Amino acid sequence: MVQQTARAIRDDIAQGRASASDVCRAFLERTQALNPTLNAFNHVAADRALARAKAIDAQRAAGASLGPLAGVPIALKDNMSVRGMRTTASSKILDTYVPVYDATVVQRLEAAGAVILGKTNCDEFAMGSSNENSAYGPVRNPWATDRTPGGSSGGSAAAVAARCVPVALGSDTGGSVRQPGSFCGVIGLKPTYGRVSRYGLLAFASSLDQIGPLGRTAADAALVLSVIAGADPCDATTAREPVPDFSAALTGDVKGVRIGVPRTFMADGVDPAVLRAVDDALATLNSAGATVVDVELPHAKYAIPVYYLVATAEASSNLARYDGVKYGHRADDAKTLREMYSRSRDEGFGPEVKRRIMLGTYVLSAGYYDAFYLKALQVRTLLRRDYEQAFEKVDVVAMPTAPTPAFRLGDKTDDPLQMYLADIFTVSAPLAGLPAISVPCGFADGLPIGLQLTGRFFDESMLLRIADAYERVTDWSRQSPAI
């Protein structure tokens, strides 16, 4: 049962071949067996999940119509608010925080019949590329437990790869859905900025953050995206763009699709096995009827410094609210208000979050704002124009999701710059606000490799169409770790 896709589970429950309660118990048993090894979940809400599953079974027995995700277990990254469920962003500063409201994505998932199994481990406040910055310990990759699952949505990716849930939600600020998707061998989709509401998502960088699904197949990602997408009066940055039937785009046909490849940008620092896998994937799509052409992204080489100026500046502002006054951790026995602020933040935040707050505060400070932050915004515009020019010739831009397969835990923790460079191929899409997807496309030494496709604004349908067509003629997405 745990090997089934979300769509198969939904269909079995709707047609009476399985009960939501039995499905829920099977995935809970799998999660409880594997989580001591993987550390993918911060919290497993077993009683709540079983109660929801029982209610769905009762609805079906009564002949009520069921939602598109009826009975499908799902996990949420632990930076999404669920009323009455501890939500920590994997940070000590929110160790005891329990929201009194649901995030919009949670409302929409439950209205569609999804069963929330629990909250997944992540880099603290979604800041990281390896899931080693969590206050609750690192997540381990199901393909090799000495390796990172990627970050920051490593817990969600590991949970899907290990078949603890068929689908999960993560958040993507600089690659935090796609890079874990690549490292764990699952689909990871970052929608267009504004496609999915951020209401109830604990903010990291507000102009970049976007919630997206992780799943075993493009069809499952399409199903979840159709449920969570759409305008939201609680989030003024959501777009009023109509939400298409993403599943209808999965035709299996890529004839006439034009795929651009920025080979100059991919020339340096990429593992040869990754390049071979990506080239093979492009050749497969070409054989299926797609056209592969070279494109240029001349400003992509500046994406990492631009990202780490914009994102840290916004983090500095967003995380100022965690001061020990309103909610979250408060230092004991502070003698002055200033001491309480200082000690609460020092005790509550981990080293990477402190690093990014300090970087962001510096680039926003008097005398440095124009030289750093304003300049970064200008280059961000140039990067977006690069993609606009590329899309005059092609439908999507393809490149590796990450320059290497999953690296060992601890390999990069002492060198933040090398850790940041792991995001070299993923940061451009959020800076430009574009949708992007990581699709499993091969293995190197038993570790998954991902092909990244970036599309036009609000053209997630094209990304899902290509990913689905590729899945139909390869078996990478059907591989599972022996854990």
In order of 203, 231, 232, 240, 435, the CA distances from 235 in angstroms are: 12, 8, 5, 11, 19
Bond preceding residue 287 cis, omega within 30 of 0: no
Evaluated on CA atoms 247, 249, 250, 251, the torsion sign reads positive
Euclidean distance between the first and final Cα of the chain, in Å?
Answer: 16
Name the active-site residue from 152, 247, 344, 428.
Answer: 152
Name the active-site residue from 19, 21, 77, 344.
Answer: 77
Tell me how far apart the alpha carbons of residues 44 and 48 are, in angstroms, rounded to a whole number.
Answer: 9
In order of 41, 139, 153, 352, 357, the CA distances from 132 in angstroms are: 14, 7, 11, 10, 18
Structure tokens at 74: 């799902």
Nearest Cα residue to 200 out of 104, 108, 110: 104
Please answer whether residues 132 and 148 qualify as being in contact, where contact means their C-beta atoms are separated by less than 8 angstroms: yes
Query: 249: Cβ–Cβ under 8 A, 6 or more apart, which residues?
Result: 222, 461, 462, 464, 465, 468
What is the layout of strands, in order, in the sheet containing 41-44?
41-44, 115-120, 73-77, 167-172, 210-215, 187-190, 436-444, 447-455, 396-400, 258-261, 291-294
Please say if 90 is a catalytic residue: no
Name the active-site residue from 134, 153, 156, 176.
Answer: 176
Strand partners, 444: 447
Q: Hey, is 371 helix, strand or coil?
A: helix
Tell me how far apart the alpha carbons of residues 328 and 191 are, in angstroms, rounded to a whole number.
Answer: 30
Residues that are catalytic? 77, 152, 176
